[in-house]
Structure 1
Amino acid sequence: MKLSACARSLALPVIALLALNACGGAADNANSPVTPSATVSSAPASSSNQEFLSETETGVRTQDGYHLNKVTEGAPTVTLFTDLECPYCAKADPTYAQVAGELEGTMNVTVKHFPLPMHDNAVPAAQAVQAAELQGAHQKMADHIYKHQSEWKELTTSESLVEAFTGYAEELGLDQEQFGADLNRDDQFDLIQSEYEEGKTAGVTGTPQFVVDGQVVAGVESSTSVEAMVAAFKKAANL
């Protein structure tokens, strides 16, 4: 699915509400695109040749996603598909971070974006995290965005979103000029879109959902404990 228009928003299928511990749902009609939502639009995309930072304060980015623990070559990978506007993703985030520590050396624990069309500001939030990643602060920004979810999720203009996310960048000590330029980078947006498509291929229909070896792990959601998550992921990976 190739997107057009300068307002960088995913034209995604409508997904209905699923359950009490997740956002989204199983009704995935690819022929029913939603109207493009509010998106970040600040400075033009940076013309710099800077590539994705390969190493950040908390991990690395590979084709498996953004790593929350040290990469172990040859180990199976569990991936969280997340929507930054989803309250259940905010609830699951600290648990998953603990799971990453528990599984270090055994499984690679990663994160990918899955912005749902029911959340108008999920794509801009993902763009903000990607802009922060270019300064080595992916997880810091994601945590900050989850913490302040109630402040930005109801904003309705690009200008107000830029102001909010740039303010967070300042609070985190990031270079605001670079952050503003990187907010609307095409390569970062394409990454978000690509990760969403990967989630769809794996059968992801809502958030948070977890995937091991290309399969959604059943029975794991936002209220699942660290111990239960670790056990479920190991079982799914046949460990």
Structure 2
Amino acid sequence: MDFGSDRLRFLCFFLLLIFSPIRCQAQIPAEHDGFWYGKRPDRAESVVVEAFFDPVCPDSRDSWPPLKKVVQYYGSRVTLVAHTFPLPYHDNSFVSSRALHIVNKLNTTATYSLLEAFFDHQEQFYGSSTLNLSRASVVDKIVKFVIKELGPSFLSAIKSGFTDSKTDQVTRVAFKYGCIRGVYGTPSFFVNGFPVPDAGSPLDYEKWREIIDPLVTKILGLE
């Protein structure tokens, strides 16, 4: 969700100031950040859409159905990569994002199913639903939620994932990656590396078609 305020933009600028000086010194991750939707493409003839989502952001939730529809419509001509961007003013955003990274390491085919589950049941993870819960209780609540989606055989792995410092680090890296890209609200989208206007607002199916149709036409050599 984008506050659309000078205060939020200043926060983004401040974060960029923090992270920019360490770009050259920070350890480069071994893997590219993000969750690939379907198989990772082995060729370049594809429009690449990057989506920065907060699992407990209502605007991220609302933006997902039209984006999913358009990606399915274009098939192999469009590649989607989703990144977590846990906003600091959304309750339990970081821990729900961490759950996605844990699951992605265990079973990449389940990542988007879990993301959709978070979108469908966001009200369980913010506001009065978790107001009086400790962090440990919130983690336990999310572990149970994930197990309900993936099955009880994953219980031990999910629990240990939340005590593994590597999953904490990869979730932090995802946030820093968003900051370096200039993301300050969710959802935020990039197409072939260029930002799509109106960060923090969902795009409908027709708008996505307007953006992608000309690009696919060029790829197919029909222009």
Normalised TM-score (structure 2)? 0.74
Deviations for 1:83-105, whole angstroms, at most 9, x for unmatched residues? 11211111112222222212321
* Structure 2 SS opposite 1:78: strand
Partner Cα distance (1:131, 1:114) in 2: 15
Q: CA deviation at 1:134?
A: 2.8
1:97 alignment partner in structure 2: 68
1:140 alignment partner in structure 2: 113
**Structure 1 residues 191, 64: closer, same or farther in 2, change over 3 A?**
closer
1:160 alignment partner in structure 2: 137
Question: For the Cα contact (< 8 Å) 2:91–2:125, is it kept in 1?
Answer: no
Equivalent in 60, 66, 85 of residue 56 of structure 2:
85
2:37 alignment partner in structure 1: 68
Question: For the Cα contact (< 8 Å) 1:103–1:230, is it kept in 2?
Answer: no
Q: CA deviation at 1:186?
A: 2.4
1:128 alignment partner in structure 2: 99
- Which ranges of structure 2 fall in alignment gaps of 5 or more residues? 17-30
Q: CA deviation at 1:146?
A: 1.5
Deviations for 1:117-138, whole angstroms, at most 9, x for unmatched residues? 1113110000111222233221
2:187 is aligned with 1:208: yes
- Structure 2: which amino acid aligns with 1:158? R
- Structure 2: which amino acid aligns with 1:159? A
Equivalent in 186, 195, 199 of residue 165 of structure 2:
186
2:84 is aligned with 1:113: yes
Partner Cα distance (1:233, 1:210) in 2: 13
1:227 alignment partner in structure 2: 206
Partner Cα distance (2:72, 2:184) in 1: 27
* Structure 1 SS opposite 2:142: helix
Please report the RMSD computed on the Cα atoms of aligned residues, expressed in angstroms: 2.9
Higher RCO, 1 vs 2 (CA within 8 Å, ≥6 residues apart)? 2
Q: CA deviation at 1:235?
A: 5.2
Give aligned-pair identity as a percent: 19
Partner Cα distance (1:165, 1:86) in 2: 16
2:24 alignment partner in structure 1: none
**Structure 1 residues 236, 198: closer, same or farther in 2, change over 3 A?**
farther
- Structure 2: which amino acid aligns with 1:79? E
- Which ranges of structure 1 fall in alignment gaps of 5 or more residues? 1-14, 33-61
2:196 alignment partner in structure 1: 217
Q: CA deviation at 1:210?
A: 0.1
The 10-residue stretch of structure 1 (198-207 or 183-192) with the greater mean CA deviation from structure 2: 183-192
Structure with a larger share of its residues in helix: 2
Structure with larger Rg: 2
* Structure 2 SS opposite 1:206: coil
Normalised TM-score (structure 1)? 0.70
Question: For the Cα contact (< 8 Å) 2:47–2:212, is it kept in 1?
Answer: no
Question: For the Cα contact (< 8 Å) 2:185–2:199, is it kept in 1?
Answer: no
Partner Cα distance (1:197, 1:84) in 2: 17
**Structure 1 residues 104, 121: closer, same or farther in 2, change over 3 A?**
same
The 10-residue stretch of structure 1 (226-235 or 193-202) with the greater mean CA deviation from structure 2: 226-235
**Runs in 1 of length 4+ with deviation above 3 angstroms?**
219-223, 233-239
Partner Cα distance (2:215, 2:34) in 1: 18
Question: For the Cα contact (< 8 Å) 2:185–2:200, is it kept in 1?
Answer: no
Partner Cα distance (1:230, 1:64) in 2: 26
Question: For the Cα contact (< 8 Å) 1:83–1:116, is it kept in 2?
Answer: yes
- Structure 2: which amino acid aligns with 1:18? G
Partner Cα distance (1:203, 1:232) in 2: 20
1:198 alignment partner in structure 2: 177
